Structure 1
Amino acid sequence: MSERQHVHPHPHHAHFSSSPEPGAKRRREDGGDDRNPTECIYPVKLKPGLRPGTGVDMAKRIEQLEERIQGYEARLAAQEAGLASVTQWRAEVTSSLALPTPSASAGIAPPSFPFELAPTPAVALTTISPAPSAGSFLDPLVLPPDDIVRDLIALYFSHIAPWAPILPPQQTFNAPWSIVVYAIVVVSLRLSTDPRIAGTKQQLRAAAKSHVLSHAIESTSIASVQALALLALDLIGSEQGPSSWGILALLTRSAVHLGLVTEDEGAGQATRVPNNLSRTSIIPPAHDWREDEARRRLFWLIFSLDRYACASTGWDFALPDFDIRRRLPCSDEIWAGGQWHSAPLFKPVLHRDAHPDPAALSPMAYLVEALDLLGRSHSLQSRVIEANDAREVEHRKDMVMTLTSAAKRWFADVPLAQMTPGPMPLVIAGVYHATLLKLNAYYAYPALSNGSPIEPYGGTCTSSAHALVQLVQQARDVGFRQASSPLFIWSAWVAARVLFINAFLAHQAQPDDDFEVILQALREMAAYWSLANQYVKLLERAKRKWAAGTTHTDPDANPSLPDAIHVLLDLRRTAYSAVGATDATPYVSPPDVNLSHLPAWAVQPLLGDLHNWFDLPAGLFADQ
């Protein structure tokens, strides 16, 4: 038999030893075929069955799964019960909102505004839900019916956009509504007189606001920042104090984050400073002129809100001057066109050498400059100086005069007469006069005077206070529904405060008629912007305390001046620190200072030792 006949016919019949034969090993080393190795490894034989403890582990896992299933069932039952209650609540609200009341009969006349509302197909009646859907930024359950939304958009463009013009004039809106429309609803609900939503305004506002915030946190876009800016307008005009102004911090940081602080001059700018780090671009360049100008105006609104917030709270700027390189907003006619336009770069009033052409500028440019002057007065007054340092005190007064003169020259060139009558010229003039009052009122009544204002500070205060009274009367003629705004309300508060000081230190029996005019105007504006409520309460309380201290009819009257008047007389208090002041007024031993360097209320009888607060930082009382 040949060698081939000795080969086993099937591999199962082969016999393999646990170690190869020496010959086999040598054959592999000699280059033999190694595809069928002759060495096998057998594992150690284990006992049949599961490992010890495996059954216990499996039982524990089954118990855990059963507990989870029970928990899911309980949660599902709770959600079904909640859904049933929401369905019932929606049905009740739908029945209350589904009134056959057209927009015209709701007292909302169709105003004229420079944009077109695109018609939308008829949709099912939608109502507010307790919370926006987590799965969609275009949740139709958050907003009221579409016809009401269109009315609110019209109210925004008629009454708010004139002094906050950040949306393109040709922009159209249709359902499903964009995130900007949700913000428009939030800020415009205060102006609506529609009876269909009279009882649900707060719920609508809360749901739409929550929806905008969710979108802004999860989405980075110009539209989300526009919506945040409108939310900030609503917030500063409400009675919520600065502790709730986190939206402003998010807004200003978003402006920096998206590169809105500087102009996008094209690719050539990137080669100017090649050694700088290349910043990550979050959003693409504007695709046309209208979008470019919309971004520019959005930044200037954020700038304006930042300056107002700092002046009324004592905070530091979130957008420092040296970081800003932006062109001024152009006129609405140029914005409406399709041609690219380069307006002058913004320069502080104190540093510019020529006046820009007013025909090419939006009135918003003058509001920006007015708020820049206000910001500079805030920065000046925030610097700490020693009361005993007569040289530094005089230097401060010289700076006040320099800034006052620059502001007066600037205001003389503002073409207010050429602007459309309405809220914008009122706001510009109001901020200007409030800036002069903020600068000069602190020095108008020195400690060693007989109560008469010291010139030129006193004359500036008197003229600006009376000018603001006239502006308030003009706003009443226009209608506070259209002419009022948080900036204008703050300006009126500053004037009322100085009028109160003037009357008290002149030893009058009560505030004069101009004070009462502003106080009544604030009451009326509070119907639209509840911020005015805070100032009304403070001014009325001060009046009552003054009257009680003068007539001595109050058996519990304190021999010192009541705290409510302290708040008004201490011009180092900002608007919100005055509102949030406690009843307790700190009294300390007065230092040995030259009284001629102090304001009158520092040493007046009944005023306590207020001169200890001389030139402390403006935000000192923010936590009270």
Structure 2
Amino acid sequence: MILSASHHVPRRDVAEIAQSLIGGQEDVRDWVVAKATKCLSVENLQALIIICFRDIGDGEECRAWSLIGALTRMVEYLQLTIESEEADRSSFSRPYTSLHPPQGWTEAEERRRVFWCVFNLDRFCSFTTAWNTSLTSDDVNRRLPCDGITWRKEETVSTPYFGIWDKSAARIGNPIAFLPSHSTTAPATADEGGITPSEATTSPGAAASSVDMSTVGAFAYCIEATESLSRVTSYFLQQKVNTKDHNDLGSWLTRFKELDVRLVHWKMLLPKKWKVNIAQQSSRMDPNLTLAHVTHNASMILLHQPIAFPPLDWTFRTRLPSFCSLDTCQAAAIEIATITNHYLQIAEHTGPLSNQYAFCVYLAARVLLLHWRYHATDSLSSEFWALIQNLETMAKRWAGPHQLGTRENLASKYQAVLVDLHTRCVQDASFNINPSAYTTEVKHSRSVSQHLDAAPRLQGHQAVRHPAQENGDPSFTGNVSANAYYPGATPSLVNAQAGQRSGSVGSGDLGMISQMLLDAEFIDMDRVISFDDGIFGTEHESGCF
């Protein structure tokens, strides 16, 4: 704890004393890891979780990967992946017990929260690298954490189980409409598990379930949003699809629609009790709720990005609702910028932000750059530079109020990559940004990030903006040339898609799916959480998990 928090102490003299007492931070870090992996305990898990957050935030994710993998096995060995009452279910092979039963509800909730921290790390590792998740439905059968105030008051409450999807059941071609999301009892099978209206079906008019969500708090909704982002990665972006096969392609587009509708339902059914008047209570932005909303918008970006920016060799690209997905990506990115600007202005939040938050800001800025590059007639959105500035602020906050921490960290790496991409777009008309390369553009260790060291630190965005853009020249186009993703005649693509609603979309299953995706009801769905929605503060809890 001292190792990770020493450079965030408000008083500089105390921070310097704490760091001097620690000595060589790398040696201390390695000593903590060595001691924490010697035996299985909840306390050792907590120490390793802190080390992982620190390594990732320092921009050395590669050092955290092996620890995250170890953590996912350690929570299994300690049977933290299941509820304590589930451990009593009869079995012909009883697992070895290495942890004593919890001494009451408060300790059980503590262990539950430790597990969900490991779960979030596993998901973060997956969607930032496009690797498979380690914790699956075969392992996990856990209730969501309760709200923070209830936990601190030690008031016993029951929360719903959170349904983790079965990977084989959720493969492309299998419907995900009725995969469980929550249940009041342990879901023995997918059929037995209860479902909630937020993710129960793909029909907006589906009947509401009776699962009680009143006992969960902001941390639980952050877990749900994180899992949504993971589902987009695992069950859509990572799925292998033969784009020349109409059946495969139809199944892929059906999955796109299913995930899109589930995300919309999650947004629609957030608890109204948490709505506050932002104008009157602008300082009440719960960190976990804010991260949940930003993560939801990032999920929309990753889901719609392949549809918004289809490669030219996709012969069916004119059947895709690209104009709708472009608007969704842009709206989600702009709202991430708006939410982040307000959140960073809150005086009481001077500490570091979540690594996941930095990733969401990176995705938002990157998709705005893609939008500008794809449509040569559009100017680069001003929110791009706001997001760049946000990342710089995040990088400074990670280094601490006295900048005693490392200056090259995860947020600064994201910022440097974005500035470099923009510079290359301006200087090289043939430069191609691959929409799916967000997992490979950032180097995950300091030793191999020399190109980031060479990138200039942002001293105001005018230093890297194109002169024509700085002068407000409406003819500035960024010199986009034809390549795998960016057609030279962008207006013709837009005009072709503008007439898709009335034009023919082909025959067979692919044609019907294309018609569904171009239907006005689908296109007009309210997908993005905006700052004006106001669901950022809560009376039930505050502070990070």
TM-score tier after normalising by the smaller chain length: 0.5 to 0.7
Q: Among 372, 380, 384, which residue is 1:511 paired with? A: 380
Quick one: which of 171, 175, 194 aligns to 2:11? 194
State the shift of 1:583 in Å: 11
Deviations 1:229-280 (A, max 9, x none): 111111211111325522212211111111111111067x332x3x2x1111
Match of 2:418 in 1: 539
Q: Say if 1:411 and 1:538 are closer, same or farther in 2 by CA, change over 3 A.
A: same
Matching of residues 318-329 of structure 1 within 5 Å: 318-329=134-145
Paired AA for residue 414 in structure 2: Y
Task: Give the structure 2 partner of residue 492 of structure 1.
Answer: 361
Q: What is the correspondence of 1:187-226 to structure 2 with a 5 Å cutoff?
A: 187-196=4-13, 197-198=15-16, 200=19, 203=23, 205-226=25-46
C-alpha distance 453-546 of structure 1, shift in aligned 2 (>3 A): farther
**Aligned AA (2:130):** G
Amino acid at match of 1:249: G
Aligned equivalents of 2:395, 2:146: Cα separation in 1: 32
What letter matches 1:468 in structure 2?
I
Amino acid at match of 2:47: A
Distance in 2 of aligned mates of 1:545 and 1:508: 18
Unpaired stretches in structure 1, ≥5 consecutive residues: 1-183, 551-559, 585-599, 607-624
Kept in 2: contact 1:426–1:483 (CA 8 A):
no
- Where relative contact order (Cα < 8 A, 6+ residues apart) is larger, the structure is 2
The match for 1:617 is none
Whether 1:286 aligns to 2:286 is: no
Aligned to 1:258: 78
RMSD (Å) for aligned C-alpha atoms:
3.0
Relative distance call for 1:188 and 1:508 in structure 2 (3 A) is farther
Q: Tell me the distance in 1 between the aligned counterparts of 2:351 and 2:268.
A: 26
| 1:266-277 alignment runs, 5 A limit | 269-271=88-90, 273=91, 275=92, 277=93
Distance 1:333 1:404 in 2: 33
Q: Which residue does 1:596 correspond to in 2?
A: none
Deviation at 1:338, TM superposition (A): 4.2
- Partner SS state of residue 233, structure 2: helix
Task: Tell me the residue number matched to 2:404.
Answer: none
User: Counterpart of 1:516 in structure 2: which amino acid?
Assistant: W
Which residue number corresponds to residue 310 of structure 1? 126
| Divergent runs of 4+, >6 A | 580-584
2:436 match: secondary structure: coil
* Residue 301 of structure 2: aligned partner: 437
**Stretch of structure 1 that moved more, 333-342 or 306-315:** 333-342
Instruction: Using the TM superposition, give the Cα deviation of residue 439 of structure 1 relative to its aligned residue in structure 2, in angstroms.
Output: 0.7
3-state SS, counterpart of residue 284 of structure 1: coil
In the aligned structure 2, how far is the partner of 1:204 from the partner of 1:422?
Answer: 35
Q: 1:522 aligns to what?
A: 391
Gaps of 5+ in 2: 166-178, 182-194, 198-210, 277-283, 399-408, 452-481, 489-545
Contact kept, 8 Å, 1:235 with 1:245, in 2: the verdict is no
Q: For residues 394 and 243 of structure 1, do their structure 2 counterparts lie closer, same or farther at Cα, with a shift above 3 Å needed? A: farther
Tell me the percent identity: 22
Give the CA deviation at 1:444: 0.8
Match of 2:251 in 1: 395
Amino acid of the structure 1 residue aligned with 2:8 = L
Whether the 8 Å contact between 2:373 and 2:486 is mirrored in structure 1 is no
User: Quick one: which amino acid aligns to residue 163 of structure 2?
Assistant: K
Give the CA deviation at 1:204: 5.7
The 2-side partners of 1:230 and 1:582 are apart by 24
Tell me the distance in 2 between the aligned counterparts of 1:243 and 1:221.
22
Are the equivalent residues in 2 in contact too, given 1:185–1:208 (CA < 8 A)? no
| Distance in structure 2 (CA, Å) of the matches to 1:508 and 1:605 | 12
The Cα of 1:414 is off from its aligned counterpart by 2.0
Q: How many residues align?
A: 389
Mapping 1:4-43, distance limit 5 Å: none
- Structure 2 residue aligned with 1:472: 340
Are residues 463 and 378 of structure 1, via their aligned partners in 2, closer, same or farther at CA, if it must alter by over 3 Å? same
Q: Distance in 2 between the 1:321 and 1:296 partners?
A: 16
Instruction: Give the distance between the partners of 1:506 and 1:198, measured in 2 at CA.
Output: 50
Q: Cα distance, 1:190 vs. partner?
A: 4.1
Q: TM-score, normalised by structure 2?
A: 0.65
Q: Structure 1's 528 and 338: CA in aligned 2 closer, same or farther, altered over 3 A?
A: closer
Aligned equivalent of 2:265: 409
| Matched AA of 2:56 | I
Matched, 1:362 2:217: yes
| Closer/same/farther in 2, CA of residues 344 and 601 from structure 1, 3 Å limit | farther
SS of the residue corresponding to residue 161 of structure 2 reads coil
Task: Kindly name which structure, 1 or 2, has the bigger radius of gyration based on alpha carbons.
Answer: 1
CA distance in 1, matches of 2:269, 2:231: 19
Q: Name the structure 1 match of 2:112.
A: 296
1:555 matched residue in structure 2: none
Q: 1:67-96: per-residue Cα shift (whole Å, max 9, x none)?
A: xxxxxxxxxxxxxxxxxxxxxxxxxxxxxx
Report the CA distance between 1:528 and its aligned residue: 2.8
- 1:198 is displaced (CA, Å) by 4.0
1:454 equivalent in structure 2: 322
> What displacement does 1:389 show?
2.2
1:535/1:601 CA distance change after superposition, 3 Å: farther
The 1:500–1:203 alpha-carbon spacing in structure 2 relative to 1, beyond 3 Å, is: farther
The TM-score, its normalising length taken from structure 1, stands at 0.57
2:150 corresponds to which letter in structure 1? I
